[in-house]
């Protein structure tokens, strides 16, 4: 068994072992906490089975997004607490011994950062039923959280950690338009636009799957209530900072939150769910509210300038120090930058609205803002080569956050699918490199890291129960260019946003329109139209097994192969065909079910110097895949098990279970 095979075996066996761990937890634990939700009775609903065709296949042992999605399902359902309705532990700290996960108010990431939304999408992609008891309980608690006024409320009582670190959601507006704060014992529930925005998206996914009118009624009441809570200005509106008690009133003179942290939190991210619901149902109040918030975001929120450049948050300006990871960052005189994910999710949201409404001008603006984030200046450390984007766009900042890495992937997919840009080469590089490395595949490196850390006892809101195993499948919170964890370990906001990006890429990489089948990424993928087998990066070979008749198959040539390159060879059922080039794609015409198309091409190896974050590295890259990085990381090094890509000329084969959903959700 070579090193790579050993790694694979370890990954799979740990996954197998983890399934047992979860069963053990669920069968022995009795609920210990009783959160006081906004309502007791909820309407009935069912989780419709994830139907599709499942079959065994032998595939090249190369990157497989379906497998990564299964691992993500493992992570997001295992970081949960069965004593409290499977609420997630929002943070995992690997820099202490033993490593722990902890609860506090930010557990709301489960809802507000899209973990609940993406779980059914990943199950659609994989057919996986792993830990499926979690889904129904999450949806029951979501419905229990809907208040009498229609908003989605977070219960503060019945969870001992419910009021830990709630300062960010203050003030709390009351029915008489006065304010209090979340520590006030008379306040038992809080809601705001942020708690409701992904709830709308989550219920829309369920509505798409079962067409239960209950979801529609619940969503529309939520949107109508949100529309009552805005502060209206000319052609835009905003939500003020803070949260609401049930039936609260907002003072119409309340300040407008601005900037990439607070402006986006209270306002911009709400646009995405509204736009998704409008796209699915045509519900006009959703479009109207999304439109006003989109104009706030583009023109008034001090988040972007007129050219789409990312503005540094007003409260950070003029300060000498900006405290965060690594301690000190010079921001005096800095005009552009700010929070990566704040800006990123604002742009994803604007793009969702621009797509839903066919607003070409806004699509162009989103493209400009995306391009700024790709090329903000060398001092910000963005790596377009590997797909590394800083948690904070500040000169010299050391850590990426998987949320912004995911947002950038999401934007690349969404801009490409509406034709506002062509970012498939970027997507290919990012998904193969930093994004793939930032997903935790094995528990052992976490144990190795934690064993050298200071011993600390485990607090009441924490658990040390098999934390490394339960974290397998989720993404890094603060990775550098060569190190999985620079501090703490995981912030589970990333467990919503990175898998959402994974789903977008998986979903859009194969596209069928009329009788044209486009394959945008040369990665393994099963679909109802054709199955793709990729030997990259071992060798330049991709096979497509047709399952349906197709007039025109378009395979995207890899980035390093220019159009009309004579070294590209094309075969149909083993017989050579002259490649027909259609831009960056090679076209093969008139295919029948059962046909096998093969594309071969060279895969060069190159060495590059690349600044990633605060440091410059030497990368060896085969095709688009980084095979080594110098200097290497030492605690939990990235790109540590990729040398076989260089050594082996042929991709090893392995047996997998492939799954093709009966209906895919285009999201
Ligand atoms: Zn995050």
Q: Average pLDDT in the 290-314 region?
A: 97
Cβ neighbourhood burial of 122 (10 Å; 0-12, 13-18, 19+): buried
Tell me the CA–centroid distance for residue 493 and ligand 1, in Å.
4
Q: Which residues contact 307 (CB under 8 A, 6 or more apart)?
A: 368, 372
Confidence of residue 10 (pLDDT cuts 50, 70, 90): very low
Spatial distance between the Cα atoms of 100 and 105, rounded to a whole number of angstroms = 17
Q: Is the pLDDT of residue 318 over 60?
A: yes
Tell me the CA–centroid distance for residue 403 and ligand 1, in Å.
4
Tell me the CA–centroid distance for residue 282 and ligand 1, in Å.
31
Q: Average pLDDT in the 334-339 region?
A: 94
Confidence of residue 152 (pLDDT cuts 50, 70, 90): very high
Spatial distance between the Cα atoms of 481 and 41, rounded to a whole number of angstroms = 49
- Joined tokens for residue 273: 């769910």
Spatial distance between the Cα atoms of 438 and 332, rounded to a whole number of angstroms = 32
Helix ranges (H only) for 53-160 are 65-78, 109-112, 115-126, 133-144
pLDDT per residue as tens digits for the range 557-568: 999 999 999 999
pLDDT per residue as tens digits for the range 567-604: 999 999 999 999 999 999 999 999 999 999 999 999 99
Torsion of CA 64, 65, 70, 72, to 10 degrees: 130
pLDDT per residue as tens digits for the range 532-555: 999 999 999 999 999 999 999 999
Tell me the CA–centroid distance for residue 249 and ligand 1, in Å.
32
Q: Average pLDDT in the 413-418 region?
A: 98
Say how many C-beta atoms besides its own lie within 10 A of residue 583's C-beta.
11
Of 400, 291, 310, 300, the C-alpha closest to 352 is: 291
Q: Average pLDDT in the 403-408 region?
A: 98
Tell me the CA–centroid distance for residue 405 and ligand 1, in Å.
9
Q: Which residues contact 82 (CB under 8 A, 6 or more apart)?
A: 25, 26, 29, 31
Spatial distance between the Cα atoms of 317 and 336, rounded to a whole number of angstroms = 10
Tell me the CA–centroid distance for residue 501 and ligand 1, in Å.
12
- Joined tokens for residue 500: 């959402």
Ion ligand 1 — residues with CB < 5 Å: 401, 403, 491, 493-494
Tell me the CA–centroid distance for residue 475 and ligand 1, in Å.
9
Spatial distance between the Cα atoms of 240 and 229, rounded to a whole number of angstroms = 9
Confidence of residue 3 (pLDDT cuts 50, 70, 90): very low
Spatial distance between the Cα atoms of 311 and 379, rounded to a whole number of angstroms = 16
- Joined tokens for residue 81: 């607490």
| Collapsed DSSP state (helix, strand, coil) of residue 578 | coil
How many residues are given for the chain?
667
Query: To 5 degrees, how large is the angle CA 447–CA 452–CA 453?
Result: 95
Spatial distance between the Cα atoms of 320 and 339, rounded to a whole number of angstroms = 17
Query: To 5 degrees, how large is the angle CA 75–CA 77–CA 82?
Result: 130
- The overall average pLDDT reported for the chain is 94
pLDDT per residue as tens digits for the range 159-210: 999 999 998 999 999 999 999 999 999 999 999 999 999 999 999 999 999 9
Of 549, 540, 558, the C-alpha closest to 601 is: 540
CB 587 within 8 A of CB 572: no
Q: Which residues contact 167 (CB under 8 A, 6 or more apart)?
A: 182
pLDDT per residue as tens digits for the range 474-520: 999 999 999 999 999 999 999 999 999 999 999 999 999 999 999 99
Tell me the CA–centroid distance for residue 492 and ligand 1, in Å.
6
Tell me the CA–centroid distance for residue 112 and ligand 1, in Å.
11
**Of residues 382 and 328, more confidently modeled:** 382
Tell whether omega for the bond before 171 is within 30 degrees of 0, i.e. cis. yes
- In order of start, what are the domains of the chain with their CATH numbers? 27-510 (1.50.10.20), 511-600 (2.60.40)
Tell me the CA–centroid distance for residue 113 and ligand 1, in Å.
8
Spatial distance between the Cα atoms of 505 and 409, rounded to a whole number of angstroms = 8
Tell me the CA–centroid distance for residue 139 and ligand 1, in Å.
23
pLDDT the model gives residue 324:
61
β-pairing, 338-339 vs 392-393, is antiparallel
Q: Average pLDDT in the 638-646 region?
A: 93
CB 134 within 8 A of CB 86: yes
Tell me the CA–centroid distance for residue 397 and ligand 1, in Å.
16
Confidence of residue 327 (pLDDT cuts 50, 70, 90): low
pLDDT per residue as tens digits for the range 456-472: 999 999 999 999 999 99
Spatial distance between the Cα atoms of 463 and 481, rounded to a whole number of angstroms = 29
Tell me the CA–centroid distance for residue 60 and ligand 1, in Å.
32
- To which residue do tokens 């959703």 refer? 286
Tell me the CA–centroid distance for residue 76 and ligand 1, in Å.
13
Q: Per DSSP, what are the bridge partners of residue 600?
A: 541, 569
CB 55 within 8 A of CB 657: yes
| Collapsed DSSP state (helix, strand, coil) of residue 499 | helix
Confidence of residue 328 (pLDDT cuts 50, 70, 90): confident
Tell me the CA–centroid distance for residue 320 and ligand 1, in Å.
26
Q: Per DSSP, what are the bridge partners of residue 80?
A: 88
Spatial distance between the Cα atoms of 538 and 651, rounded to a whole number of angstroms = 5
Residue 435 CA: distances (Å) to CA of 15, 48, 407, 626, 630:
20, 31, 11, 12, 18
């Amino acid at each position: 068994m070579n090193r790579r095979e050993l790694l694979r075996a370890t990954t799979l066996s740990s996954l197998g072992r983890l399934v047992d761990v979860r069963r053990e937890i669920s069968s022995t634990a009795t609920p210990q906490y009783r959160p006081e939700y906004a309502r007791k009775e909820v309407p009935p609903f069912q989780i419709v089975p994830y139907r599709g065709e499942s079959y065994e296949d032998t595939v090249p042992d190369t990157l497989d997004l379906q497998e990564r999605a299964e691992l993500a399902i493992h992570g997001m359902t295992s970081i949960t607490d069965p004593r409290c309705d499977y609420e997630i532990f929002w943070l995992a700290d690997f820099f202490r011994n033993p490593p722990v996960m902890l609860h506090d108010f930010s557990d709301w990431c489960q809802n507000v950062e899209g973990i609940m939304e993406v779980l059914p999408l990943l199950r659609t992609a994989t057919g996986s039923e792993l830990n499926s008891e979690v889904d129904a309980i999450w949806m029951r608690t979501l419905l229990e959280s809907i208040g009498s006024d229609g908003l989605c409320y977070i219960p503060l009582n019945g969870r001992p950690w419910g009021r830990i670190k709630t300062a960010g959601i203050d003030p709390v507006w009351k029915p008489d338009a006065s304010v209090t704060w979340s520590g006030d014992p008379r306040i038992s529930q809080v809601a705001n636009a942020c708690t409701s925005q992904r709830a709308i998206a989550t219920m829309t996914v369920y509505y798409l799957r079962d067409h239960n009118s209950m979801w529609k009624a619940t969503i529309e009441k939520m949107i109508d209530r949100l529309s009552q809570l805005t502060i209206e200005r000319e052609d835009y509106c905003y939500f003020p900072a803070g949260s609401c008690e049930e039936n609260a009133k907002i003072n119409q003179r309340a300040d407008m939150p601005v900037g990439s942290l607070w402006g986006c939190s209270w306002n911009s991210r709400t646009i995405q769910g509204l736009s998704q619901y409008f796209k699915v149902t045509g519900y006009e109040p959703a479009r109207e509210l999304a439109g006003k918030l989109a104009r706030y975001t583009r023109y008034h929120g001090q988040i972007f300038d007129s050219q789409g450049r990312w503005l540094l948050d007003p409260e950070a300006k003029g300060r000498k120090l900006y405290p965060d990871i690594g301690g000190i960052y010079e921001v005096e005189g800095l005009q552009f930058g700010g929070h990566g994910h704040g800006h990123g999710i604002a742009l994803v949201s604007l793009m969702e609205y621009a797509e839903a409404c066919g607003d070409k001008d806004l699509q162009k603006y989103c493209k400009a803002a995306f391009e700024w984030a790709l090329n903000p200046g060398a001092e910000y450390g963005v790596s377009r080569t590997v797909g590394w984007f800083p948690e904070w766009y500040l000169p010299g900042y050391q850590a990426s956050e998987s949320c912004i890495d995911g947002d950038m992937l999401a934007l690349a997919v969404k801009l490409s699918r509406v034709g506002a840009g062509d970012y498939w080469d970027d997507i290919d590089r990012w998904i193969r490199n930093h994004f793939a490395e930032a997903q935790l595949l094995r528990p052992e490196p976490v144990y190795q890291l934690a064993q050298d850390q200071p011993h600390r006892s485990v607090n009441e809101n924490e658990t040390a129960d098999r934390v490394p195993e339960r974290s397998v499948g989720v993404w890094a919170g603060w990775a550098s260019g060569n190190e999985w964890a620079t501090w703490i370990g995981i912030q589970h906001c990333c467990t919503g946003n990175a898998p959402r990006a994974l789903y977008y890429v998986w979903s859009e990489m194969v596209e069928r329109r009329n009788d044209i089948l486009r394959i945008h990424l040369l990665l393994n993928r099963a679909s109802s139209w054709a199955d793709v087998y990729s030997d990259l990066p071992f060798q330049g070979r991709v096979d497509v097994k047709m399952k349906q008749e197709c007039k025109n198959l378009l395979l995207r040539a890899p980035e390093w192969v220019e159009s009309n390159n004579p070294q590209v060879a094309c075969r149909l059922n083993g017989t050579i065909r002259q490649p027909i080039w259609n831009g960056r794609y090679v076209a093969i015409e008139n295919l029948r079910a059962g046909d096998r198309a093969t594309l071969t091409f060279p895969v060069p190896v190159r060495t590059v110097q690349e600044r990633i974050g605060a440091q410059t590295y030497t990368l060896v890259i085969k095709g688009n895949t980084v095979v080594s990085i110098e200097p290497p990381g030492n605690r939990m090094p990235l790109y540590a098990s990729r040398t076989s890509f260089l050594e082996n000329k042929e991709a090893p084969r392995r047996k997998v279970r492939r799954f093709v959903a009966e209906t895919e959700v285009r999201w």
